[in-house]
Structure 1
Amino acid sequence: MLILLVRAEATLQMAPYATTKLSSKGQVVIPEDVRNDLGLSEGDQFVVIGQGDAVILKVITPPKLEEFQKLLSRARAEAKRLGIKKADVKSAIAKVRRRAK
Structure 2
Amino acid sequence: MGMKDVTTTRLSSKGQVVIPEAIRRQLGLDPGAEFVVLGDVDTIVLQRVRAPAMRDFDAIVTRAREAARRAGMRRSDVAAAIEAVRST
What TM-score comes out, normalization by structure 2 length? 0.80
* CA-based RMSD: 2.3
Q: 2 CA distance for matches of 1:21 and 1:89? A: 47
Q: 2 CA distance for matches of 1:15 and 1:87? A: 55
Identity value in percent: 45
Match among 52, 59, 64 for residue 63 of structure 1: 52
Match among 15, 37, 42 for residue 26 of structure 1: 15
Q: Which runs of 5+ in 1 are unaligned?
A: 1-12
* Superposition map of 1:1-101 within 5 A: 14-92=3-81, 94=84, 98=88
Structure 2 equivalent of residue 9 of structure 1:
none
Aligned length: 86
Amino acid at match of 1:50: G
Q: Which stretches of structure 1, 4 residues or longer, exceed 4 Å deviation after superposition?
A: 90-93
Q: Which runs of 5+ in 2 are unaligned?
A: none
What TM-score comes out, normalization by structure 1 length? 0.71
Q: RCO (CA 8 Å, sep 6+): is it higher in 1 or 2? A: 1
